[in-house]
């Protein structure tokens, strides 16, 4: 008997299978002239869409030998060229032609990702692959269930990573797969794969990903446009590989976003609501830009505003028309203090809409929208008005006395921007004089004193006027109080007040003996007293006492409330 060459043996095996199929006469031979030397075996599978392929023939391969495959016209086939390391090359699925033909083998190395179904989607739920490295334009990998109750993805490139999806009504199952391994199944309401590239399409190195949301203002401040931020805990970001991130979760909070950063790039902000509304099988490509900067100077009244506070906000609403009075909502982005020359600078900004708010206690404030392409911005402060005066103590000018503009609580709660109702702060000079800016909206009061000095509160006009001259302001004496406890306690005494007024003082009494203390209160009103024992605070009875001139120099008696 003449021995058969391996290629002929393979052809005869294929012939025997095809010839055994009713109505499937042999029509042609498929010729593979160039089989890579690393291939050790060749297998033929009958291809069925959405189901595991069925092996029909398999033979060893030999270096330098071509492979001929006998096929019936119209058969859907998949040919796998396996290597010793477990990887393989594929050809197909394709329909066998009617005539003899040569086929060119795809050189991409692939392997199969397999996993058991510990918990996850129901068996038979259609599976879909979303690649993180390759765009799957050739249709690979393909995922399906096999007969043993497991799922597998055939034809994943050896350098590929991605996400396997299984959509059920109201639920999206997913697992991250790479290196022929897959994680446990997880389920969410939605998911999207983000492919992030750096500037000029370079790889995104040191990728940083933050999911955040604006914090709704408290009910009493419902009109505010300055919103705090918090992490969006209902959404997660899972690295898949390289610059790919799988974002999934429950319905995202309103106006929430994904902040994406990478080395050498500026941040990018994506709406989580927009991401969640798209199909999970559609990848989202993100191109990061070069980091943007914003710099300039702050001036007011013809002088550079040294020490001005410059705050940068990112707008989460569209920039309004100049004629509109509605202000867009915004979240904090960065903050800086102008240097000796009034200069400021912000680095690593996004190509987004920002607003700069600058504030100086003597020169006023300004709020400017910054177009996306702008990198230079000179800020001119507007001074709504000035309040000035001279502070005296015992008839003599007092230096270093604090002067604070305190907004009216009702005006603060209804203000869109707290800066509108906040005037300037400062302290008196050597001659006891001071001058600070009035609030843009006017109103509130000026609190003069504090610390070692008594306090005077002076109302300010509404609306603002160019100049308020308060003249001489005489500070009286502080209210010296002696505190007597009904028992000695190894704790300090802390007092807070006046209760119900803005600009509260927090003071600590000085112990003078067992159960004895003294404290100087800068102004009259309701004051709250309590024992401060490290991290704990114990209650005194009475807890709140009205302090006025009648209490000055007198003793206040308190009982230490026993712990229950």
**What predicted TM-score, i.e. pTM, was given to this entire model?**
0.76
Alpha-carbon separation of residue 422 from 16, 81, 367 (angstroms): 91, 75, 14
CATH number, span 386-475: 2.60.40.10
Position 20 scores a pLDDT of 40
Rounded to a whole number, what is the distance in angstroms from the first to the last CA of the chain?
A: 103
Average pLDDT over residues 477-496: 91
Q: How confident is the model at residue 250 (pLDDT cuts 50, 70, 90)?
A: very high
Position 22 scores a pLDDT of 47
* 290-337 pLDDT tens trace: 999 999 999 998 999 999 999 999 999 888 887 777 788 999 999 999
Position 199 scores a pLDDT of 86
Domain 479-560 has what CATH class?
mainly beta
Select the CATH number that applies to the domain covering 292-380 from these four: 3.30.200.20, 3.30.360.10, 2.60.40.10, 2.60.40.1180: 2.60.40.10
In order, the DSSP letters of 1-43 are -PPPPHHHHHHHHHHHHHHTSTT----EEEEE----TTEEEEE
Position 3 scores a pLDDT of 35
CATH superfamily of this structure's domain 6-107: Carboxypeptidase-like, regulatory domain (2.60.40.1120)
Matching fold, domains 189-290 and 386-475:
yes
Domain 189-290 has what CATH class?
mainly beta
Position 194 scores a pLDDT of 96
User: Could you check whether the bond before residue 542 is cis, i.e. omega within 30 degrees of 0?
Assistant: yes
Q: How confident is the model at residue 114 (pLDDT cuts 50, 70, 90)?
A: confident
Average pLDDT over residues 99-123: 84
Lowest-pLDDT range, 3-7, 25-29, 122-126, 416-420? 3-7
Lowest-pLDDT range, 22-26, 63-67, 99-103? 22-26
* 174-214 pLDDT tens trace: 999 988 888 889 999 999 999 999 887 777 778 899 999 99
**How is the chain split among helix, strand and coil, in percent rounded to 5?**
5, 50, 45
Position 480 scores a pLDDT of 93
Delimit the domains of the chain by residue range: 6-107, 112-186, 189-290, 292-380, 386-475, 479-560
> Over 90: is that where the pLDDT of 472 sits?
yes
Element (H, E) at 301: none
The more confident residue out of 423 and 117 is 423
> Over 70: is that where the pLDDT of 537 sits?
no
């Amino acid at each position: 008997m003449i021995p058969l060459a391996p290629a002929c043996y393979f052809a005869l095996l294929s012939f025997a299978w095809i010839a055994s199929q009713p109505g499937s006469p042999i029509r042609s031979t498929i010729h593979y002239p160039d089989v890579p030397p690393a291939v050790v075996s060749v297998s033929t599978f009958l291809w069925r869409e959405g189901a595991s392929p069925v092996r029909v023939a398999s033979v060893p391969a030999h270096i330098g030998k071509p492979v001929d495959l006998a096929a019936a016209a119209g058969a859907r086939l998949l040919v796998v060229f396996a290597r010793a390391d477990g990887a393989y090359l594929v050809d197909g699925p394709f329909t066998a032609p009617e005539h003899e033909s040569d086929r060119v083998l795809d050189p991409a190395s692939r392997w199969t990702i397999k996993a058991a179904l510990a918990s996850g989607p129901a068996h038979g739920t259609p599976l879909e692959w979303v690649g993180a490295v390759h765009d799957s334009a050739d249709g690979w990998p393909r995922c399906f269930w096999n007969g043993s109750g497991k799922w597998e993805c055939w034809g994943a490139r050896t350098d590929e990573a991605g996400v396997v999806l299984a959509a059920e009504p109201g639920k999206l199952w997913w697992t991250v797969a790479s290196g022929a391994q897959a994680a446990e199944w997880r389920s969410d309401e939605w998911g999207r794969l983000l492919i992030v590239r750096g500037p000029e399409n370079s790889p995104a190195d040191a990728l940083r990903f933050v999911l955040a949301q604006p914090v709704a203002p408290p009910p009493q401040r419902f009109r505010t446009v300055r919103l705090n931020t918090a992490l969006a805990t209902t959404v997660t970001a899972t690295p898949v590989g390289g610059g790919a991130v799988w974002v999934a979760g429950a319905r995202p909070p309103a106006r929430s976003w994904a902040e994406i950063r990478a080395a050498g790039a500026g941040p990018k902000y994506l709406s989580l609501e927009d991401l969640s509304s798209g199909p999970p099988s559609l990848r989202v490509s993100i191109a990061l830009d070069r980091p943007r900067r914003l710099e300039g100077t702050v001036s007011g009244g013809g002088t550079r505003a040294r020490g001005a506070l410059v705050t940068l906000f990112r707008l989460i609403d569209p920039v309004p028309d100049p004629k509109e009075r509605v202000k867009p909502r915004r979240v904090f982005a960065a903050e800086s203090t102008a240097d000796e020359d009034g200069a400021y600078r912000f680095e690593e900004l996004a190509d987004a809409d920002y607003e700069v708010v600058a504030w100086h206690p003597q020169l006023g404030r300004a709020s400017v929208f910054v177009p996306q392409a702008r990198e230079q911005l000179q800020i001119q402060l507007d001074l709504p008005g000035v309040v000035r005066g001279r502070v005296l103590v015992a008839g003599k000018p007092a230096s270093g006395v604090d002067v604070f503009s305190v907004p009216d609580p009702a005006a603060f709660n209804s203000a869109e921007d707290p800066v509108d109702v906040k005037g300037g702060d400062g302290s008196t000079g050597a001659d006891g004089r001071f001058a600070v800016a009035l609030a843009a909206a006017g109103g509130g009061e000026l609190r003069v004193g504090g610390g070692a000095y008594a306090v005077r509160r002076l109302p300010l006009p509404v609306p603002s006027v160019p100049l308020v001259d308060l003249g001489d302001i005489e500070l009286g004496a502080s209210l010296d109080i002696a505190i007597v406890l009904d028992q000695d306690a190894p704790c300090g005494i802390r007092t807070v007040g006046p209760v119900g007024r803005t600009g509260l003082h927090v003071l600590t009494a000085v112990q003078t003996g067992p159960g004895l203390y003294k404290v100087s209160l800068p102004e009259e009103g309701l004051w709250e007293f309590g024992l401060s024992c490290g991290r704990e605070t114990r209650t005194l009875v009475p807890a709140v006492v009205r302090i006025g001139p009648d209490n000055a120099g007198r003793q206040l008696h308190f009982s230490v409330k026993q712990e229950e």
